[in-house]
Chain A
Amino acid sequence: MRTDISNINEQSPCEDLTEGLMIFAGGTSKQFKTGEWRVATPVFDKDKCKQCLLCAPVCPDGCIPVHDGRREDFDMDHCKGCGICEKACPFGAITMTS
C-alpha cells in the first residue's frame, strides 16, 4: 500500500495511516518544517560577513545554504534557532534575537 504521505496529516483517521507509519518516499524531512519549533532567530548581517564559511557546516539542520562558495540567508523553514552558528562566526555577522 504505497501512500503519498503529503495526503496524511494530523487529522487523518487511523485507517489512512501507513503500516508501522512507514514513509514511502525519500528526502521527506524537507516537508517537515522544524522552523516552527524556533524560539530564538539568527539574523544575518551581510555587510559583516567575510564568507569564511565556518558557520555552514556546523548547523545541525543544514539551514545555511551555500552556492558558488558563498553563503546565503538562513532557511527559516527549518532553522531551529539553536544558536550554534552565532558562536561559530568569528566576525559577529550572526546575532540571535528572540
Chain B
Amino acid sequence: MSKKDRMSGNEAVAYAIRQVNPDVMPAFPITPSTEIPQLVSTYIANGEMDTEFIPVESEHSSMSAAVGAEAAGARSMTATSSCGLAFMWEELLVAASNRLPIVLTLVNRTLSGPININCDHSDGMGARDTGWIQIYAENNQEAYDNYIQAFPIAEDKRVHLPVMVCQDGFITSHAVQNILLEDDKDVKEFVGEYHPEEFLLNPGKPVAVGPYAVSNYSMEAKYNQEAAMIRSREVIKEVAARFREKFGRGFDFFEEYRCEDADYIMLIMGSAAGTAKQAADDLRDKGMKVGVLKLRVFRPFPAEEIAAALSKCKAVAVMDRCESYNGHGGPLASEVPAALFMNKVYTEVVNYVYGLAGRDFTTETAAGIFEELEDVVENKKQVRQCTYVGLRSKEGQ
C-alpha cells in the first residue's frame, strides 16, 4: 500500500536509500546534496538501516571507495553535486569501464564559475560521456521512483553499468512536495537482493579487476561497453514497466505531455518540465496545440524514439539547462537535431539555453517560447539559435 506524505527531494531519496539498504555508502558533503548522506547517517545511527557508511575526505575518494566496494562484491552507492561530480571524473570512467553497477544520486548544481550553488545541468551533462546511465527527475516523486529503479537496471546481467539518478538542486532537492511512498517490503522486493557473479572477495575464485590492456584488446573492450549501454535500453523499459505494474506510475525514456496532436513541442529535462506543462495547459486553454516532451533517460540517448515522437509536430523548442561553450549550443541542442536528422525527421528546431545557475524559468517564459515557435512557422520569423532565455543584453535578444 502506498502511503501519502510530503517531503523534499533529498528526503525522498534518503528514504529510498533506507529502504534499499545498500551495503556500502562512501560520501562527502556538498551543497545541495549534503542532506542525503546526513539523513542516511541519521537512519544508520537510529538503527533503521545497516549500510556501511564511509565518511571520506573528498569525492575523488567517495567514488574510488564505491568502485572498490562494488568490485569487492558490495552493493554500493554515493551522492554528490556539482564540483563533487567533477572531482569524481576519473573514477566515473573507471566505474563504467569496469562494469560496476554503482548508483550515484546526483543533485544537479551548476559548475564553477562563477561559483554558485544553484541548479543547472552542467554537472551531469559534463559527465554525459563517462559511460553512466543517466536518469533525470522532474520532482521528488520521480527522484524517489528513479532511485528504486536504478539498482535493477544497473545490476541486470545484460547491463552491468553504473546509474546516475539526477534531480534538480534546491528546486527539487529542497522544496517540499506531496509524495507517494511505498512499503519497505515492496521496495525491497522490487529491488531484489544483490548476488554478483564475479567479485574480489570470493574465496577460491580469484579475479583481477581493471587490468592494463594493450591496443589489441582496448577497442574491443570499449565496444563491449557501448554494447551494454545499447542493451540497457530494453532493461530500462522492462524495469519501468515492472514499476508501473507494481506501483502504478512512471515512464520509460520520456513522458509525452499533451503531445498527441501538438503543433509545437518543448523538449525539456528536470524540474522545469513542470513549468512547461503549466504553460502548455494555459496555452491549450487559449486553443493553441502545444505539448511537452520531458526527457527522463538522457543516457542511453533514445534517439529513434525522440525522432518518432517529434515527427508530427510543426516545430520543437529544445531546452538546454547547460552551456557547452562550443559555439553550437548545449548538449540537447547537439543531440536532438542529430537524432532527428539521422532518422530523416526534418521538423523545425529552435534551441534555447535557460535557467543557468538557478535563473528562474517561469510559465510566462515557457509560453513565450511556444509563441515564438508559432511565429517561426507561421510568419517565417528568423530566430537566433541557442538564445539565452531572459538574458539582459543590449542586443535585446
List A residues at the B interface (Cβ < 8 Å): 1-2, 10, 12-14, 17, 19-26, 28
Contacts and interface: CB of A to CB of B under 8 A. Distances in A.
B198 interface: yes
B208 A23 contact: yes
B207 A23 contact: yes
A24 B206 contact: yes
A19 B99 contact: yes
A22 B209 CA distance: 5
Of all A-B residue pairs in the complex, the 8 with the closest CB atoms, nearest first, are A14-B220, A26-B206, A10-B216, A20-B99, A23-B208, A20-B98, A19-B99, A21-B221
Interface of B: 97-100, 160, 197-198, 205-211, 213-214, 216-217, 220-221, 223-225, 227
Contacts of A28: 208
Contacts of A19: 99, 160, 198, 224
Q: Majority SS of interface residues in chain B?
A: loop
Contacts of A21: 210-211, 213, 217, 221
Contact of A24 (B98, B99, B207, B213): B207
B220 A24 contact: no
Contacts of B100: 20
A14 B224 CA distance: 7
A28 B207 CA distance: 10
Given A22-B207, A23-B207, A23-B211, A17 B221 contact: yes
A58 B382 CA distance: 72
Nearest to B199: A22
A20 B210 contact: yes
B197 A1 contact: yes
Contacts of B97: 20
Contacts of B207: 22-24
15 contacts: A1-B198, A2-B205, A14-B220, A14-B221, A14-B224, A17-B217, A17-B220, A19-B198, A20-B210, A20-B221, A20-B225, A21-B213, A21-B221, A22-B209, A23-B207
Nearest to B160: A19
B206 A25 contact: yes
A86 to B, nearest CB: 27
Contact of A17 (B210, B214, B224): B224
Contacts of A1: 197-198
A19 B223 CA distance: 11
A17 B225 CA distance: 11
